[in-house]
Amino acid sequence: MARTPLNLPDFPWDALVPYGQIARTHPDGFVDLSVGSPVDPTPEIIRETLAAATDSHAYPTTTGTVQLREAIVEWFARRRGVTGLTIDHVLPTIGSKELVALLPMLLGLGKGDVVVHPSVAYPTYAIGAALVGATSIAADDPAEWPENTALVWLNSPGNPDGRVADVAQLRAAVARARELGAVIASDECYAELNWIGQDPAPSILDAEVIGDDRSSVLAVYSLSKQSNLAGYRAAFVAGCSALISELLAIRKHAGLIAPGPVQAAMVTALHDDAHVAAQRELYRARRAKLLPALERAGFTIDDSVAGLYLWATKNEDSWQTVGDLAHSGILVVPGSFYGEDPARHVRIALTASDDTIADAVARLELLA
């Protein structure tokens, strides 16, 4: 029988390549504010732990070491105010992107099921639905989630728009998901990067959201951003113990195992709040320079109260903005990559060195 290849959307970043080529020809150099990839070094204490763990001859366990599972439980209590978790409520993942893309498959979803995600969103939620033949729907309002919804993705703080869901919004989303019999998963990888107020964004696992009932609720977290660990692929999922054991069983069969040295490094990262605070202040300072420079250059910044991006608009087609900035040597991402329709925003990353941010500010002053 003929094979039917998976019909996935085009990789959107390919469309940005010509703009990158224009920006790279700028005589004063290229200012890349497109990809949200960390640029600062991985903290020394984490690297030391990784280096000490290089004898890793045996297979690691899919469920994670007890030390790692305990560190995740303690981190939730200490940093997110989520109490009552045990090591049976948590599971390491190989970065969070694989979990986001694979969750519909791991939950057994398929044709006829709906996966809901935010109206402007990280594209991998829809990819995960497409991989299993499910339908993805972009809808923020729980009232719009259809009866055949099987999985709801929330993303707070959001990529690309930096929106934060408050406890009431999280509560309403959980209530609607439960009414539909759907699993609800909250992708919270920017939770430690808040610019208004000091506290991390509320977790879906907060008792104020779910009381003591974790059933059908998952929180997904990544150390890529808070700890400059994107290259390690270090993340975890937590929540409903029945779902966690379901995920574990399939991940064991499929060999989806976080590498042993990475598991060790994650323990150190999760126990140390100082490096996270220091990194947060670096991004805060970069944001404090870039945001007013963008406003002086005629941009309006919407949302963007947390996370690693500024969601900026000149009230024009977002490709126009991308093109104009490329001629100033600055590369940013159009809102269309995130499903904005019509796309009128661009996503501008804070993940650039201090020197690059200073260059961006200087270029933007010329546009003011």
Ligand X SMILES: Cc1ncc(COP(=O)(O)O)c(C=O)c1O
Contacts to ligand X by CB under 6 A: 36, 95-97, 100, 122, 155, 159, 187, 189, 222, 224, 230, 235
* Shortest Cβ 196–ligand X spacing (Å): 19
Nearest residue (CB) to ligand X, 159 versus 356: 159
Nearest residue (CB) to ligand X, 187 versus 206: 187
Nearest residue (CB) to ligand X, 14 versus 55: 14
With DSSP H G I counted as helix, E B as strand and the rest as coil, what are the percentages for the chain, rounded to 5?
40, 15, 40
CA 21 to chain centre: 27
CA 257 to chain centre: 20
* Shortest Cβ 255–ligand X spacing (Å): 18
Element (H, E) at 301: strand 300-302
- CB under 8 Å to 169, separation ≥6 — which residues? none
Count CB neighbours of 8 within 10 A: 10
Nearest residue (CB) to ligand X, 204 versus 293: 204
Beta bridge partners of 183: 151
* Shortest Cβ 191–ligand X spacing (Å): 11
Count CB neighbours of 353 within 10 A: 12
* Token code pair at residue 101: 């893309």
Count CB neighbours of 44 within 10 A: 9
Strand blocks (E) in 78-173: 90-93, 114-117, 135-138, 149-155
| CA gap 296, 365 in Å, rounded | 7
Nearest residue (CB) to ligand X, 262 versus 364: 262
Q: Is 361 helix (H, G, I), strand (E, B) or coil?
A: helix
Q: Do the beta carbons of residue 22 and residue 326 sit within 8 Å?
A: yes
Nearest residue (CB) to ligand X, 270 versus 361: 270
Diameter of the chain by CA atoms?
61
* Shortest Cβ 276–ligand X spacing (Å): 15
Nearest residue (CB) to ligand X, 224 versus 304: 224
* Shortest Cβ 222–ligand X spacing (Å): 3
* Shortest Cβ 95–ligand X spacing (Å): 3
Nearest residue (CB) to ligand X, 93 versus 328: 93
| CA gap 154, 47 in Å, rounded | 32
Query: What's at 225, amino acid-wise?
Result: K
* Shortest Cβ 98–ligand X spacing (Å): 7
* Shortest Cβ 227–ligand X spacing (Å): 11
